[in-house]
Amino acid sequence: MAKCECCGLDFPNPAKLYEPFQPICPQCEEFLEQPGFEYGICDGCGSKFELMSGTLPGLLPNRAQREAMNKVGRSRRME
């Protein structure tokens, strides 16, 4: 992924973003799609969810949910 689908930020070095377990956009903190994963969009809240063979879907919070979570703490792990 060379550009964020949420805010449009161009990534000069996309491989660097994919070094951590869960890559995120440095500008808007949108979770970036992993190669080989399938994604869907929740009909109710608009969040992305991961579909991996043999597992339950993992829901990734959308931008509004991340902003609400940041009011009381951190919505992503600390580096």
For residue range 57-70, list pLDDT tens digits in order.
Answer: 777 888 888 888 88
13-22, 30-39, 48-57, 69-78 — which is least confidently predicted? 69-78
Which residue from 22, 47, 49 is spatially nearest to 38, judged by alpha carbons?
49
CA pair distance 58, 69, nearest whole angstrom: 17
Residue 74 has pLDDT above 90, yes or no: no
Domain extent listing, the chain? 14-72
**Arithmetic mean of pLDDT, 34-53:** 80
Q: Which band of pLDDT confidence, cut at 50, 70 and 90, is reported for residue 79?
A: very low
Whole-model pTM: value is 0.64
